[in-house]
Structure 1
């Protein structure tokens, strides 16, 4: 079952994770949406993060969840970015990916059944 998450990046320029190799690089609403969608549909971001862990083989594999049908819509209004994420990925995994991509510079505004 898919869930719809309404997320805001209050300042797109500050929406960067601690590790530049894993972080957002986008500058526009559409760019942020595209990067997050790729992170949810595929395992590239997870694999890069996992390889950087002290004990990669001990990483909880539930964090590797992907959703090939995930969609992310992005819109920019001045400095802030609004993202609408529709996915079957568990919320804990979505939050972990957002922390990698945006650090703490994001807000979960609402959650609804899709």
Structure 2
């Protein structure tokens, strides 16, 4: 099922994960959208994260799900960024990728059918 996720980065300057190897590097809405879209379309971010785990082979492979057709649109609103993700990615995978990219500095505002 394809869903539309409405996400807010309340303070874009703080939207960084805890580990610099995986975090957002973007400074604007378009950059955040591009980086999240790449993280959903490919397994690059997941694989880089998996390989640094204590036992990479024990990581749930379902967290590596990808959606080559995922799209992310970004809009800047003063200090915050609104992202609209359209994807078949399960919510648990989306949340995992967002925690890597933005740490706890994001909010899931709504989910609808696409």
TM over 0.5, shorter chain: yes
**Equivalent residue runs for 1:40-79 within 5 Å:** 40-79=40-79
TM-score of the two chains, using structure 1 as the length reference:
0.99
Q: What corresponds to 1:33 in structure 2?
A: 33
Please name the residue that 1:112 is paired with: 112
Q: Measure the CA separation in 1 of the matches of 2:44 and 2:76.
A: 26
1:12 matched to which residue of 2? Answer: 12
Cα deviation, 1:62-89, whole Å, max 9, x if unaligned, reads 0000000000000101110000000001
**TM-score between both structures, scaled by the size of structure 2:** 0.99
RMSD: 0.4
Question: Structure 2: where are the runs of 5+ without partners?
Answer: none
* Structure 1 gap ranges (5+): none
Q: For residue 18 of structure 1, give the secondary structure of its aligned residue in structure 2.
A: coil
Counterpart CA distance in 1 for 2:65 and 2:46 is: 9
Aligned residue pair count = 114
Deviation at 1:109, TM superposition (A): 0.4
Question: In the alignment, which residue of structure 1 is the partner of 2:91?
Answer: 91
